[in-house]
Amino acid sequence: MAVHLGRPLPSFAARNPLVPKSQPSTKLSVSCSAMNHSVKFKRDYTSVMIVPTGIGAAIGGFAGDALPVARALSSVVDCLITHPNVLNAAMLYWPMPNVLYVEGHALDRFAEELWALQPVHQNRVGLVLDAGIEEELRIRHLQVADAVRASLGLPVVEYIVTDTPLEVEMWVDPKNGQSTGRIKHPDSLLRAVQTLVSRSGVNAIAVVGRFPDDDDAEGTDDYRQGMGIDLLAGVEAVISHLVVQEFQIPCAHAPACSPFPLSLSLSPKSAAEELGHTFLPCVLAGLSNAPQYLVKNNDSLEKGCILASDVDSVILPNDACGGDGALAFARIKRNKPLIITVEENETVLNDTPDKLGIEAVQVSNYWEAIGVIAAHKAGTDPHSLRRNRIDNIPCNSPLLANGNVFSSTMPIT
């Protein structure tokens, strides 16, 4: 409530010589900002949801099957930060105004308190197509770009074809069972991005690389039936990491593949990738308003950016806590976020909080995780919602009274 005592500003009569003047008087003016229902007495609650790419996650290891979790979580928190693997569902996507679409490498740098996230209204998106894509498949992707421009109003401003085929290679890492890979000609990709940035001023990049067909027919069949790992996902992350590391702008990748033969035993978790000729629509939708990445400094603070210290909670699979981002969040000293790990979301990894010395709240499933976050947002100890989870308040040091040392278990009167 703001209260102001003193003479009011001159009225119209006081300023106009033709209007009779009255004797000025002292007035009391009161403005109560609390009457405005939009006033907030707590800062926004920010959560980060991580499901690492290419690790066979039971939820989030397929075609956007973690998107329902993100939708539910976004209804509980004020701001949700997550990455393309969670939000991309090939031909499908879901607009959520309080969700930030952050590429994996950028999310790691953000967690390490090196980069800040600057929310935007709109990005200028550039499209890079692999020279190895056949003409018909290339035209299909360009039609998608035109469709999202005309039907969704997305700012996809220009496309370019790389000067050399990228030659995507992918395989499974025998050490951890994670999918990975490389492109033989990364310089060709970087030259194409540089041209778009310089010529058209784009500040977000969608990349479409031509992926090999039937590189592992058995693995592809398993994936389509809701088992195993996504063989394409690991090298997709390699491609986007390369661009983000070099240009510090949002980037996401969509693979170009020949159409799959019809399957009568298709898993619903993989079905989004069977709907059309391309996986590009969700990428363009996500990049259109993805936050920009700024090196953390005084300028980023002044521009209202989101910092790692603003994060209140982090949610991820229980056995996938060994990534750079997860470890960085766990090491934050000031405003350390609550780490929540989900046992039901099993992966091929075995990086549990206990093995890594991470303090975490372990829950059985995402139902429980969202309940923990709701309690945490309310300022309530999540353990107080469970039976017999609150013990007597501890004391870790002896108490001093009149120079005598008493045991912390002794009653004090």
Per-residue pLDDT of the chain (413 residues), as tens digits, is 444 444 444 444 444 544 444 444 444 444 444 444 455 677 899 999 999 999 999 999 998 999 999 999 999 999 999 999 999 999 899 999 999 999 999 999 999 999 999 999 999 999 999 999 999 999 999 999 999 999 999 999 999 999 999 999 999 999 999 999 999 999 999 999 999 999 999 999 999 999 998 655 556 777 778 788 888 999 999 999 999 999 999 999 999 988 777 877 888 888 888 888 899 999 999 999 999 999 987 666 667 899 999 999 999 999 999 999 999 999 998 889 999 999 999 999 999 999 999 999 999 999 999 999 999 999 999 989 988 878 888 887 765 555 555 444 444 33
Q: How many CB atoms lie within 10 A of CB 346?
A: 17
CA dihedral in degrees (340, 346, 348, 349; nearest 10)?
Answer: 20
Return the pLDDT at 40.
Answer: 62
Lookup result for tokens 């397929």: 62
Long-range CB contacts for residues 141-150, cutoff 8 Å, separation at least 24: 141/208, 141/254, 141/256, 141/277, 141/278, 141/280, 144/278, 144/280, 144/281, 144/284, 145/280, 145/284, 147/281, 148/281, 148/284, 148/285
Return the pLDDT at 398.
Answer: 65
Distance CA 8, CA 17 (A): 18
Instruction: Select from 232, 286, 225, 226 the least CA-distant residue to 255.
Output: 232
Return the pLDDT at 389.
Answer: 79
Beta-strand runs (E) in 135-291: 156-161, 168-172, 179-183, 204-210, 251-256
Return the pLDDT at 269.
Answer: 86
For the record, the structure tokens of 299 come out as 């300028």
Distance CA 70, CA 96 (A): 9
Instruction: Select from 80, 117, 85 the least CA-distant residue to 96.
Output: 80
* Amino acid identity at 234: G
Distance CA 59, CA 307 (A): 27
Instruction: Select from 322, 276, 316 the least CA-distant residue to 66.
Output: 316
